Chains A and B, each alone.
Chain A
Amino acid sequence: MAEFKEISPNAPMAEKALNWVDNRFPLSKLYKEHLSEYYAPKNFNFLYFFGVLSLLVLVIQIVTGIFLVMHYKPDAATAFASVEYIMRDVPWGWLIRYMHSTGASAFFVVVYMHMFRGLIYGSYRKPRELVWLFGCAIFLALMGEAFMGYLLPWGQMSYWGAQVIVNLFSAIPFIGPDLALLIRGDYVVGDATLNRFFAFHVIAVPLVLLGLVVAHIIALHEVGSNNPDGIEIKAHKDTSGKPLDGIPFHPYYTVHDIMGVTGFLLVFSAIIFFAPEFGGYFLEYNNFIPADPLKTPLHIAPVWYFTPYYSMLRAITTEMMYALIVCVIAAAYLGATRAAISSTLKAAVIGGALVLVGLMLAIDAKFWGVVVMGGSVIILFFLPWLDHCAVKSIRYRPDWHVWLYVVFVLNFFVLGYLGVKPPSLMGERVSQIGTLYYFGFFLLMPWWSRLGETKPVPARVHFVAH
């Protein structure tokens, strides 16, 4: 606890007021720790805008969301009409609604960029593991938030998308059907589902999201930001203890971020005002038809930001299960013969693999599809412990590592593309290879990240004056 500080009675009013507050609440302390004396590396590049942009989009979603809730009706009979009421009769309602619908997609764009930045510069590595874990939890919460929000307009895609995804849970052995029933609150997606999704979307998940965002930022400010060189700036400090390659967040990065925010708003506004449907990707055309439980659309696809995972779900067919069984056996064989572990552990690996193969043969592929889809997100949590490369940043990794990352990103796009397309034989094969690459990239990382010759990492960051 800080000591109570007396100030001269002749001090200016503002100074006295600040002192009064500071004696009761750490206002100046917080300001210093998080802004004016939070030292960030000076070599941030374009990719470092996406953290603050995620925060901006979160605020946009919350503020526009509040205004939407004032007019929206969470009732299966009136939900669709209330959205059209917002679009037509509420003054500037169309703007608020488009900001919210475009904001949903924008959220995923900026968060994907933010995660990509962390991935290539090793921002998840020690000591930033918790920053990464909180971030992954935010991503998971965001996916839940987006999925439940998408039901609310009660259009055909809202309805059938929710129907398909909730039905996935029924593939879980034993508890599945009851779990799906619990989520829906009914035997089909209906009014009960809409009401509970509304409750989760407007209050439960946002509360979790906000808490996680605060934890994410506190953890970040505790350890300090990484940078494109993956060098710890705290290793080189001046006599006063400030990092030599660090600059105060305020004013340097605040003015910098204003520029980034303006650039983002230019793109964001261009979409809102000139292409709010964004070719059917941000607002799907089918969703302008009210939900009809009796009419299944010919082609049900999730919104674009879920399609890579959806592709991986669809990739798990009965045939694919045999390929996965081969992978499990090969992994167990390698573990038992090559890994430097005790023989009891080796026996456990083989035993575990046999049980897994047994389950893979016994349980329907649909369930394993759900496991793969969930696993594709959960695996991100383990990244800090999968990467064993001697350097953090992609800049100093062996050149062929870079190609693995390039293929990883392309693969993610291809999976995303296939997820919006109707199923096809060719698409199925490609998505199966893509799924293997996606998981291979992470699961084999402990092996491949050690290989190859890394480049020498400089002591100080690489910075070109603006």
Chain B
Amino acid sequence: MKKIILSLLISMFTSWSAFAATDTIPWDKAPNKINDLGALQNGAKLFVNYCLNCHAAAYMRFNRLTDIGLTEQQIKDNLLFTTDKVGETMKIAMDPRQAKDWFGGTPPDLTVIARSRSGHGGTGADYIYTYLRTYYRDPEKATGWNNLAFPNVGMPHVLWELQGERKPLYDTVMSHGHEAKVFKGWQQVSAGKLSPAEYDAAVGDLVNYMQWMSEPAQSMRVKVGVWVMIFLLIFMFIAWRLNAAFWKDIR
């Protein structure tokens, strides 16, 4: 019995350390620019140019972008293909079968992706912010790219022109009697169009746009909420005094 327990414990620890080595890295905190219209507009531009070819955002209407300060004319001129109408949702023309051949699966719809990826590591925005900044070259993969936040991802590094190419650096440490690789930082292999700081800012804009797109009513929700709370607090005072006025007779 003791042996069984012991072997169980050992296997638990060893499997844990093996897991730790391949585990994804902790998520970075995405900048919060959810009320920064300029950033959101820049994010929308990046989204339409880089994401909206393979990914759809089928619940998001183009003309909802007026909420982040764009006019319908601006949307038509800059973000729409000539055949699209401004009241349509962000659909794409890619054939799902081809997508399966190219990436191993249909790229997911991105409308509410920022909400779906929240977890114990942080918000969905944190996850996407980390994910889009941790691509590296991996010749073993069909696309030639791999990712630290999403190991063996099917999507290639779409933003590589902007970021350039990077290589993750590891420290080798001993953990539970095994050698384990611990991620320590990045090495820039070739420069991109943007400096690392500019790239982080651009991805920050994109992620904030996706966060906004996942719930376009969110700023409105908070604004209305403040007034509702103020009303209820005042009403609470009235209800409290009303109650006291009636109950003063009860002994």
Contacts and interface: CB of A to CB of B under 8 A. Distances in A.
Interface of A: 42, 81, 84-85, 87-89, 94-95, 98, 247, 251-252, 255-256, 258-259, 262-263, 265-266, 269-270, 272-274, 276-277, 280, 285-290, 463, 465-466
Nearest to B115: A288
A344 B113 CA distance: 66
B225 A274 contact: yes
Nearest to B234: A262
Contact of B250 (A42, A88, A266, A286): A42
Q: Name B's interface SS.
A: helix
Contacts of A274: 222, 225
B224 A280 contact: no
Contacts of B232: 262, 265-266, 269
A375 to B, nearest CB: 31
Contacts, number: 99
A247 B61 contact: no
Given A288-B112, A288-B116, A258 B242 contact: yes
Contacts of B190: none
A87 B218 CA distance: 10
Contacts of A270: 225, 229
Interface in B171-202: none
Interface residues on chain B, size class: 35 or more
A262 B236 contact: yes
29 contacts: A42-B250, A84-B111, A85-B59, A87-B215, A87-B217, A88-B61, A94-B215, A252-B246, A252-B247, A255-B247, A256-B243, A259-B242, A262-B235, A262-B236, A265-B232, A266-B229, A269-B232, A273-B224, A274-B222, A274-B225, A277-B115, A280-B119, A285-B118, A288-B112, A288-B116, A289-B108, A465-B251, A466-B243, A466-B248
Interface of B: 58-61, 64, 108-109, 111-113, 115-119, 124, 214-217, 221-222, 224-226, 228-229, 232-233, 235-236, 239-240, 242-244, 246-248, 250-251
B232 to A, nearest CB: 5
A285 B233 contact: no
A272 B225 CA distance: 8
Contacts of B244: 466
B116 A289 contact: yes
B236 A88 contact: no
A251 B119 CA distance: 48
